[in-house]
Amino acid sequence: MKKILVALAAAGLGLSGVLAASPAAGAPQGPEHAPPAPAPAPQWTQCEGLPTGVECTKIEVPLDYGRPKGEKIKIAVSRRKATDTAHYQGAILFNPGGPGGSGLAYPAVMQTRLGPALAAQYDLIGFDPRGVGSSEPSLSCDPNFADPVRPDYVPANITEELAWAQRSQKYAQACGRIYGDLLRNMTTVDAANDMDQIRKALGQEQISYVGYSYGTYLGATYATLFPNRVRRLVLDSIVNPSRVWYEANIDQNHAFEGRAKDFFAWIATYDSTYHLGTTGDEVEKAFYAARAKLKDTPAEGRVGPDEFDDTYLAGGYLKSRWPLLANALSRYLTAGEAAPLLAAYGTYGDSSGDDNTFAVYSAVECSDAAWPRDWPRWHRDMWQSYRAAPFLSWGNAWFNAQCAFWPVRAAHEQRVDGRAVKNALFFQDTKDAATPYEGGVEMHRRFPNSRLVVMDGGGNHGLTGRGNACIDDAWKAYLTDGTLPASRPGPDLHCAPFADPVPPARAAALNAAPTQIDDWVPGER
């Protein structure tokens, strides 16, 4: 460790506070702070690029809720108005996760997922949280940060590790130069306060909410701050509120390792199709052989080891993607064909050219809660994680390492407390890799009036609206009239998972881009 410390100092990556830190952000804002009422009723117009009937507007909110009369920013909001006035149930807000995911398309998406009859009873509301997409300002720190081909996520030595750390430091510095004090007002608490401003602008006494992935943490934070404003609350694929955020990412490493091994074992079951090995171990060796080959010679100068990792991470979110990913790996290794791999990267792994999602992800997570500011801690923890979980550990480290150097110190962490919420419905998969199962259990404990619906062993991230009758019947019953599953010790309802996929019969089908609605995944990178 002493050698590491010397190297860190020489590289300019000191033990704490590498960047000049701003003072800690103020205390969280809640209803008792009585932020001012928003501007007069918003003006709605047809959303550009969305189906007819989905309207858009922008709502002004305080940049800093501690200074409600100060600078304003704008939140982009979309809606599809209820048409069943006889059974009108008010507004329901949706958030896809991230942080950094755009929600403007959700009124159209959820009309399909809920079904026309139930959807017609609600004003379906989407929004871009502060900093995201069409909201103003829309954050971007370095548009080319994710461009291929990047240095290998897995450092071969301390020099390569420090080069990546310096890369992350420069990204944090760029964000600080561009946005300055705005970064201290990018927390989940700020976004929750924005949601209440949306509620007021809609003229609603209460709102219902459906949140996925990070959106579960946002929804739980809103319910903590504004429990009397919550009518119905659905959290699907749940962040562990006890592990925000450094520990949560380490938890992810181990959960994704389990899903990767499931993927390798599934490929081995179909060795007659993919020819990569008859056991999971053999397929795993083939996978890492492909990675090493791409490190030596990136495919078409575009897919190197990092881009390969990002592509195959997608299989950890949703197993319906496995046939396409397995085919791409097989064709690359057995026939030397790069085209299917390039296509898979384009579908699942390519985040180059648009930095907004990553910039907002960073601004929120880096300032929501304290992160280690000393690189030796990261070095120790990430190598320890890598030894048990090589599939994601270092890629995940570099997806978050900017938080070690973030120019704004973390805000006071908001403790999630759902005891004042009258009812809520939670969904969690026991093999969810992005938000591991324990998160659902912990959130259920913090909301004593909630029910927890569990999918046993499906491995899906995002359960509702995908066609599983057990899941969807519970979801729609709750949103229809507030019906909850009977309360039981532990999970209140168990649902069987979707069956594992089967390789398509024809090779041409293997190359087809996925089109099914359930290929969308909440909160995915």
The string of pLDDT tens digits covering residues 230-245 is: 999 999 999 999 999 9
Whether 121 and 89 have beta carbons less than 8 Å apart is answered as yes
Residue 249 has pLDDT above 90, yes or no: yes
Question: What local confidence, expressed as pLDDT, does residue 2 receive?
Answer: 32
Mean pLDDT value of segment 156-182: 97
Catalytic residue among 102, 309, 393, 461: 461
pLDDT at 520: 66
> From the candidates 78, 140, 168, 213, which is the catalytic residue?
213
User: What pLDDT was estimated at residue 55?
Assistant: 98
pLDDT exceeds cutoff 60 at 90: yes
Q: Is 362 a catalytic residue?
A: no
What 8-state DSSP symbol labels residue 345? I
Average pLDDT over residues 40-57: 94
Q: Is pLDDT above 70 for 26?
A: no
Residue from 459, 449, 94, 512 nearest 262 by CA: 459
The pLDDT of 474-486, averaged and rounded, is: 98
Residue closest to 311 by CA, chosen among 352, 260, 346: 346
Q: How does the average pLDDT of the chain come out, rounded? A: 91
Please give the distance of CA 492 from its chain centroid, rounded to a whole number: 25
Calpha distance 517→111 (Å, rounded) = 13
Give the Cα separation of 524 and 284 in Å (integer): 23
Percent of the chain with pLDDT over 70: 89
335-349 confidence digits (pLDDT tens) = 999 999 999 999 999
CB 409 within 8 A of CB 24: yes
Backbone φ and ψ for 319, nearest 5 degrees, come out as -75, -15
* pLDDT-based confidence at residue 430 (cuts at 50, 70, 90): very high
The two beta strands, 424-429 and 207-213, are unpaired
pLDDT, position 24: 35
| Alpha-carbon Rg for the chain in angstroms | 23
Res 522: pLDDT: 73
pLDDT of residue 22: 33
Average pLDDT score over residue span 325-342 = 98
Q: Each residue of 355-396: pLDDT tens digit?
A: 999 999 999 999 999 999 999 999 999 999 999 999 999 999
Residue 424 forms beta bridges with which residues? Answer: 450
Give CA–CA dist 93/207, Å, rounded. Answer: 7
How confident is residue 518, by pLDDT bands cut at 50, 70 and 90? low
Greatest Cα pair distance, the chain, in angstroms, is 72
Predicted confidence at residue 524, as pLDDT, reads: 72
Residue 353 is predicted with a pLDDT of 83
| DSSP 8-state code for residue 452 | E
Asked if pLDDT for residue 511 goes beyond 80, the answer is: no
What 3-state class would DSSP assign to 91? strand
Query: How does residue 12 score in pLDDT terms, banded at 50, 70 and 90?
Result: very low
User: Looking at per-residue confidence, does 510 or 98 come out higher?
Assistant: 98
Tokens, residue 32: 């008792």
Q: According to the model, what pLDDT value does residue 37 have?
A: 52
More confident site: 514 or 489: 489
3 state SS of 465: coil
Active-site annotation holds for 412: no
Query: Coil, strand, or helix at residue 404?
Result: helix
Per-residue pLDDT band at 521 (split at 50, 70, 90): confident
User: Rounded CA gap, 138 and 155, in Å?
Assistant: 33
Encoded tokens for 1: 């460790």
Of 138, 135, 106, nearest to 123 by C-alpha is 106
User: What average pLDDT score do residues 429-449 get?
Assistant: 98
Q: What is the pLDDT of residue 377?
A: 97
Residue 36: pLDDT above 80? Answer: no
The pLDDT tens digits for 277-293 are 999 999 999 999 999 99
> Quick one: pLDDT at residue 6?
34
Residue 8 has pLDDT above 60, yes or no: no
Look at residue 403 and tell me whether its pLDDT is greater than 90.
yes
Q: Cα–Cα distance between 128 and 109 in angstroms, integer?
A: 15
- Region 74-87: what's the mean pLDDT? 97
Nearest alpha-carbon partner for 169 in 18, 330, 340: 18
- Please list, in sequence order, all residues whose beta carbon lies within 8 angstroms of the beta carbon of residue 120, skipping any fewer than 6 positions away: 82, 83, 84, 87
Residue 306 CA to its chain's centroid (Å): 19
pTM comes to: 0.91
Local confidence band at 354 (pLDDT 50, 70, 90 cut-offs): confident
Does the active-site annotation cover 444?
A: no
Instruction: Kindly state the average pLDDT of the residues 430-455.
Output: 98
> CA neighbours within 13 Å on the CB side: how many for 126?
26
* Average pLDDT of the residues in 157-186: 97
Q: How many residues does the chain have?
A: 525
**Active-site residue identified among 432, 444, 472, 492:** 432
The closest of 300, 64, 47, 326 to 182, measured between CA atoms, is 64
What percentage of the chain exceeds 90 in pLDDT?
A: 86
